[in-house]
Amino acid sequence: MHGLYLFLAVAGAAVLIGCVCENRNAWAFKALAFVCAAAAAYSFAQQAWPFAIIESIFAIAAMRRWRMACAPKMDSDSATLKSRYP
């Protein structure tokens, strides 16, 4: 098996796992951003530019969601800060 195909298999499996786990923990968003960036790198290596651009956009969106999920949220009842995720 060619090394690039093995990289695709690992990156693809990691993207699926990241999508499944994204609502369980805020750090799953960061992991999803990393594996989307890896999938984009694979697409650039294969010269599949449209897929590479789309995966890059997904990576940026996942990183933005991670930043928003880790930001403290104001609790309207008691005016205290609390995390969105445990």
Q: What is the mean pLDDT of each run of 10 residues along the chain (86 residues)?
A: 76 76 76 86 87 89 85 60 54
Q: Give residue 35's domain range.
A: 3-82
**How many folded domains does the chain comprise?**
1
| Bridge partner list, 74 | 81
Look up the pTM and report it: 0.66
Listed residue (10, 13, 4, 15) closest to 48, CA to CA: 4
b or e along 1-28 (b: 16 or more beta carbons within 10 Å of the residue's beta carbon)? eeeeeeebeebeebbeebeeebeeebeb
Give the pLDDT score at 43.
86
